[in-house]
């Protein structure tokens, strides 16, 4: 990798035509040699740092990858990113009209509201895997010619199919120099109902609630090109993965990769947005007073129906069927403002660890989730339940008092303990014996508007298993189902009138190196890509509440309303700031 240990020596020297072409910056003294980082200043004056693309390096890496049985080899360039935001980078790839183009923008914020280190942007995958009630479709756009479409009419486990494709066709070469994070691979979602593939006898599709939206159960897309924006280093990695099976000689692969890289770099350097981004004055905090009125939201259940569902759930708890069940209702509202503008608003008023804008088959996902569904990093599986919530205080003293009250609330603590047990069980299904343990217990995590009780459970992934196995074992999280999980889901099937779709599932990525990071699809808006005759968008906002033995129906109902209203504020802000 560029750099090394030792004292950094900074020099600037000019070379070439005038003062514009080649500037050598950042001499660094390594352990045994000096290394030079080259910055090529193009017409825009944006520095480009070239790594991993010399012909000699590629020839050697190509030969080694072939000898090792690998199929994918990365090429990349670094570009100064202090002139472009992730939102702008996304709009450079996808226009406002291209709502059917599979694509993603993944960002993150720390608990104090600061930006996380990396953002990820990608569009136009080379493969899509789509599953709907045992029928799976694979669309393969790799190579020359039209896409190859494969229909699998009775696919009992699409997660196993994804693992099979990954292990048989996508073995990636490990190289130095790429950031230690996602640099390409699968991005998409697995909805709440994907658990049915693993529990066909207990949770058959035939007994699921009404499927009124007909959304996919699962949509995973393979991206061999992407941007990784490093906010700490103020650099953007433009990355292309070369499929060695498409090239007989390394020269062909190198030339093709270089052309693709040049195109990706030019997009960032020139910053030519495919659609303009609306700019407006925004007063913050934006009406943080419960300003989203209920009449703007309609539900798939009446108030009376929801109360009766709670009563039935508590009967099950009293009979000993379950300890807890998470019942939800799905709200909806129409708006003329587009989903990307709503995402821009959401990232302003509710920054979260998982901020997501994702265009999928048939729908767009806009999310600001605080919670991991499952994470696998260097074969360590992480589950991190969040349960127990209080609003943030207006002063440090009020904040501390709310924290103290939350940690003394017996109902909240009992629910959280159940979810820790569920997390241990989920991780234990795929972890080596004796490695499952909590690393944090009952800690308070603060976000922009609320605080939660958080715990973390980890374990070492068993030999022979992959991230796909870990993901399948953890879907859905106990925080959106209940305990025991399967029985709680059966009761949800009986009590909720419509399928949940992406809500309650996982949204995120599985990298070429088998690292996984999936957010739990909470605080997630689902927007169908079809609009009505007035060209308005239909926004679905789903929220749930954990029902236990001493639950109060009114407070549980209000909890779901409050959660939906919080999401609705982002639509209001987008209409005010970006609406046309």
> Which range is least confidently modeled, 49-53, 77-81, 327-331?
49-53
Name the burial class of residue 34, with classes exposed (0-12), middle (13-18) and buried (19+) by CB atoms within 10 angstroms of its CB: exposed
Look at residue 382 and tell me whether its pLDDT is greater than 50: yes
Domains along the chain?
1-41 (no CATH), 294-351+372-463+475-499+523-577 (3.60.120.10)
Catalytic residue among 479, 504, 506, 568: 479
How many Å apart are CA 365 and CA 507, to the nearest integer? 9
Residue 282: partners with Cβ closer than 8 Å, 6 or more residues away: 348, 573, 576, 577
The mean pLDDT value for 433-458 works out to 90
Res. 548: pLDDT tops 80: yes
Q: Are 152 and 44 in contact, with CB atoms under 8 Å apart? A: no
Q: How far apart are CA 346 and CA 283, in angstroms?
A: 14
503 catalytic? Reply is yes
Q: How confident is the model at residue 447 (pLDDT cuts 50, 70, 90)?
A: confident
Question: For residue 562, what pLDDT is reported?
Answer: 86
The answer to whether 510 and 185 have CB atoms below 8 angstroms apart is: yes
Mean pLDDT over residues 549-573, rounded? 90
Give the pLDDT of residue 110.
73
Structure tokens at 134: 């045992």
C-alpha 555/C-alpha 473 separation (Å) is 32
Residue 546 is among the residues annotated as catalytic for this protein:
yes
Give yes or no for a contact between 325 and 480, defined as CB atoms under 8 angstroms apart. no
Inform me whether the pLDDT recorded for 288 exceeds 60. no
Contact 222, 128 (CB under 8 A): yes
What is the maximum alpha-carbon separation in the chain?
83
- Residue 398: HSE in the Cβ half-sphere, 13 Å Cα cutoff: 7
**How many CA atoms within 13 Å lie on the side-chain side of 185?**
23
Say whether 440 is catalytic.
no
- Res. 145: pLDDT tops 90: no
- 555: how many CB neighbours lie within 10 A of its CB? 9
Q: Is the pLDDT of residue 9 over 50?
A: no
Whether the predicted pLDDT of 294 surpasses 60? no
**pLDDT at residue 389, as a whole number:** 82
Residue of 459, 506, 546, 568 marked active site: 546
Look up the pTM and report it: 0.88
Q: What is the mean pLDDT of the chain?
A: 87
Q: What is the mean pLDDT of residues 187-194?
A: 97
The confidence score (pLDDT) of residue 580 equals 60
Set 77, 219, 452, 472: catalytic member: 452
Lowest-pLDDT range of 281-295, 336-350, 456-470, 519-533 = 281-295
Alpha helix stretches (DSSP H) within 274-409: 303-318, 339-349, 396-407
Tell me what percent of the chain is helix, strand and coil, each rounded to the nearest 5: 30, 35, 35
Grade residue 113 by pLDDT with cuts at 50, 70 and 90: low
CA distance 95 to 493: 39
Known catalytic residue at 90: no
122, 344, 523, 540: which is the annotated catalytic residue? Answer: 523
How many CA within 13 A on the CB side of residue 211?
15
**Cα Rg of the chain (Å, integer):** 25
Predicted local confidence at residue 285, as pLDDT = 52
Looking at per-residue confidence, does 210 or 32 come out higher?
210
In the structure, what pLDDT confidence band is assigned to residue 51 with cuts at 50, 70 and 90? low
Flag whether pLDDT at 388 surpasses 50: yes
Over residues 68-77, mean pLDDT:
95
Greater confidence, 389 or 503? 503
pLDDT of residue 281: 66
The single residue of 254, 503, 539, 540 carrying the catalytic annotation is: 503
Of 41-50, 118-127, 138-147, the range with the lowest mean pLDDT is 41-50
Backbone angles phi, psi at 234, to 5 degrees: 60, 40
- Predicted pLDDT of residue 293: 52
pLDDT at position 33 over 70: no
Share of the chain above pLDDT 90, in %: 71
76-80, 111-115, 233-237, 447-451, range with the lowest pLDDT:
111-115
236-250, 382-396, 541-555: lowest mean pLDDT where? 382-396
- Comparing 287-291, 538-542, 555-559, which segment has the lowest mean pLDDT? 287-291
% pLDDT > 70, the chain = 87
Q: Active site includes 452? A: yes
pLDDT the model gives residue 251:
94
């Amino acid at each position: 990798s560029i750099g090394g240990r030792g004292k950094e020596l900074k020099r600037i020297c000019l070379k070439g035509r005038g003062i514009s072409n080649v500037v050598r910056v950042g001499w660094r003294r390594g352990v045994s040699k000096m290394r030079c980082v080259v910055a090529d200043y193009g017409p825009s004056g944006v520095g480009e740092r070239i790594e991993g693309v010399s012909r000699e390096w590629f020839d050697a890496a190509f030969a080694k990858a072939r000898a090792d049985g690998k199929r994918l080899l990365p090429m990349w360039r670094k570009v100064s990113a202090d002139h472009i935001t992730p939102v702008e980078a996304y709009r450079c790839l996808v226009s406002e009209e291209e709502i059917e183009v599979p694509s993603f923008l993944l960002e993150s914020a720390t608990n104090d509201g600061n930006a996380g280190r990396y953002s990820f942007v990608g569009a136009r995958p080379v493969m899509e895997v789509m599953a709907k009630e045992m029928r799976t479709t694979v669309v393969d756009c790799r190579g020359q010619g039209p896409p190859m479409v494969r229909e699998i009419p009775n696919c009992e486990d699409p997660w196993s199919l994804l693992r099979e494709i990954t292990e048989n066709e996508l073995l990636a070469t490990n190289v130095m120099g790429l950031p230690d994070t996602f640099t390409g691979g699968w991005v998409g979602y697995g909805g709440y109902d994907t658990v049915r593939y693993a529990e066909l006898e207990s949770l058959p599709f035939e007994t699921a609630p009404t499927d009124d939206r007909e959304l996919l159960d699962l949509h995973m897309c393979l991206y061999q090109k992407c941007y990784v924006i490093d906010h700490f280093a103020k650099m953007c990695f433009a990355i292309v993965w070369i499929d060695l099976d498409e090239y007989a000689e390394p020269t062909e692969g190198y030339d093709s990769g270089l052309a693709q890289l040049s195109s990706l770099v030019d997009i960032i350097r020139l910053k030519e947005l495919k659609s303009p981004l609306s700019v407006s004055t925004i007063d913050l905090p934006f009406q943080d007073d419960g300003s989203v009125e209920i009449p703007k939201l309609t539900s798939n259940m009446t108030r009376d129906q929801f109360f009766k569902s709670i009563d039935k759930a508590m009967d099950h708890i009293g009979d000993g069927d379950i300890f807890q069940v998470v019942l939800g209702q799905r709200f909806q509202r129409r708006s003329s403002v587009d989903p990307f503008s709503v995402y821009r608003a959401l990232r302003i008023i509710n920054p979260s660890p998982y901020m997501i804008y994702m265009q999928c088959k048939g729908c767009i996902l806009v999310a600001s989730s605080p919670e991991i569904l499952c994470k696998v990093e260097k074969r360590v599986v992480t589950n991190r339940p969040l349960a127990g919530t209080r609003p943030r205080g207006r002063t440090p003293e009020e904040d501390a008092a709310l924290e103290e009250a939350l940690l003394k609330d017996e109902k909240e603590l009992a629910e959280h303990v159940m979810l820790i047990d569920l997390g241990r069980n989920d991780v234990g299904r795929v972890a080596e014996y004796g490695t499952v343990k909590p690393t944090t217990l009952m800690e308070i995590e603060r976000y922009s508007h609320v605080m939660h009780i958080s715990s973390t459970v980890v374990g070492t992934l068993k030999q022979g298993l992959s991230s796909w196995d870990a993901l399948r074992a953890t879907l859905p999280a106990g925080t959106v189902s209940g305990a025991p999980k399967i029985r709680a889901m059966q009761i949800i099937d009986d009590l909720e009138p419509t399928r949940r779709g992406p809500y309650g599932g996982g949204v995120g990525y599985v990298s070429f190196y088998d690292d996984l990071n999936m957010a739990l699809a909470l605080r997630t808006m689902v927007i169908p890509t079809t609009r009505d005759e007035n060209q308005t968008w239909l926004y679905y906002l789903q929220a749930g509440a954990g029902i236990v033995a001493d639950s109060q129906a009114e407070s549980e109902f209000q909890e779901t309303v409050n959660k939906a209203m919080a999401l609705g504020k982002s639509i209001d802000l987008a209409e005010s700031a970006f609406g046309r």
